[in-house]
Amino acid sequence: MPGSGFQVPASARWLGAGLLGIAFLLFPCSLTLEVSVGKATTITAVNGTNVLLPCTFSTCMGFENLQFWWTFNNSEEFKNLLDGTVKNEKSEPKIRSNIDPSRIEMAGSVKEKKNNISILILNLEFSDKGKYTCRVKNPKEKNAQHEATISLIVVDKLVKVDNTVTIIILSVVGGLIGLLIVIMLIKKFVTFIIKKTQEKKKECLVNSSGNDNTENGMAGSKAEQKATPKL
């Protein structure tokens, strides 16, 4: 009708949505921001040493003026450790504030698509034990945010795990399995020998019976020949 706007047919809209869904299946890619601290969600470190707290982010839409924070939380306190920005994929993280520059350092890089905003904690103390959260916000994704948390345990020294009992148990189990296999092989071998012996005995009995029948038949023929009476 004159003056009316152009409307896209419903079939075309459904077709467009279907093609978009197929594209997502053929080219799987998360359009949302994701943050990861790696597979291990708990790190154990020795008091007085340095420890790396990993954190990486990923997005298929790219990023501009990306913001990130590191926070600390335990049963006694919550505090912001460090926050910064990353202008784009070609820029390094720029720290805006750091609660303790002498003990907390940036250890990551976003160049070469590493997207790494890990931090390094120097000269660990027992009070550093707690949960560390890495949070990222990407303005290019309508300020989408995501975070990941890693737990840090600080010990006086790393305890070496004694695997003696485990080794003994595995050795015993392995020995029992090996013994069972040997017994089964011996059983099969003995069964085979017995079967062969029985077959030979049976064959001998058959042959002996045949010989006896033959001899009896021959004797009977001679007897019949002698028994013919004279008239």
Q: Does the structure show a pLDDT above 90 at 154?
A: yes
Q: How high is the pLDDT of residue 2?
A: 47
Q: Does the structure show a pLDDT above 90 at 24?
A: no
Reduce the DSSP state of residue 137 to 3 states and report it. strand
Quick one: pLDDT band at residue 28, thresholds 50, 70, 90? very low
> Mean pLDDT score of the chain, rounded to an integer?
80
Quick one: pLDDT band at residue 89, thresholds 50, 70, 90? confident
Q: How high is the pLDDT of residue 229?
A: 57
Instruction: Report which of residues 28 and 73 the model is more confident about.
Output: 73
Q: What pTM did the predictor assign? A: 0.58
State the Cα–Cα distance between residues 22 and 10, nearest whole angstrom: 18
The torsion angles phi and psi of 199, rounded to 5 degrees, stand at -65, -40
Q: What is the dihedral of CA 92, 96, 97, 98, to 10 degrees?
A: 10
Of the ranges 108-112, 124-128, 192-196, 204-208, which is most confident? 124-128
Q: Does the structure show a pLDDT above 90 at 44?
A: yes
Q: How high is the pLDDT of residue 23?
A: 44
Instruction: Report which of residues 213 and 115 the model is more confident about.
Output: 115
**Residue extents of the structural domains in the chain:** 29-155, 160-189
Quick one: pLDDT band at residue 228, thresholds 50, 70, 90? low
Lowest mean pLDDT among 55-64, 147-156, 188-197: 188-197
CATH number of 29-155: 2.60.40.10
State the Cα–Cα distance between residues 131 and 150, nearest whole angstrom: 6
For residue 4, give the amino acid letter.
Answer: S
Interior CA angle at 156 toward 37 and 167, to 5°?
80
Q: How high is the pLDDT of residue 18?
A: 54
Quick one: pLDDT band at residue 201, thresholds 50, 70, 90? confident
**DSSP structural state of residue 205:** H
